[in-house]
Amino acid sequence: MTPFGTRLAHAIEERGRFCVGIDPHAALLHEWGLGDDVASLERFALTVVEAVAPVVGVVKPQSAFYERFGSRGVAVLERVVAESRAAGALVLMDAKRGDIGSTSQAYADAYLDPTSPLGCDAVTASPYLGFGSLDPMLEACRRHGGGLFVLALTSNKEGPEVQHARTGDATVAGTVLAHLRAANAGASPVGSFGAVVGATIGDTDEDLDINGPLLVPGFGAQGGTVDDLTRIFGAAARWALPSSSRDVLRAGPDVGALRDAALRGNDAVRGLGA
Strand partners, 94: 62
Instruction: Indicate the average pLDDT of the chain.
Output: 95
> What gap in Å lies between CA 57 and CA 67, rounded to an integer?
25
| Per-residue model confidence (pLDDT) at position 111 | 98
What's CA 116's distance to the chain center, in Å? 19
> What gap in Å lies between CA 274 and CA 272, rounded to an integer?
6
Who wins on pLDDT, 270 or 79? 79
Catalytic residue among 10, 79, 96, 164: 96
Strands, E, within 127-246: which ranges? 147-153, 166-167, 170-171, 193-197, 214-217, 240-244
pLDDT tens digits, residue range 125-168?
999 999 999 999 999 999 999 999 999 999 899 999 999 999 88
| Per-residue model confidence (pLDDT) at position 218 | 87
Q: What pTM was computed for the model?
A: 0.96
CA nearest neighbour of 58 among 216, 232, 257 = 216
96 is catalytic: yes
pLDDT at 273 over 80: no
Model confidence band, residue 225 (pLDDT cutoffs 50, 70, 90)? confident
CA nearest neighbour of 46 among 22, 11, 15, 72 = 22
What's CA 250's distance to the chain center, in Å? 19
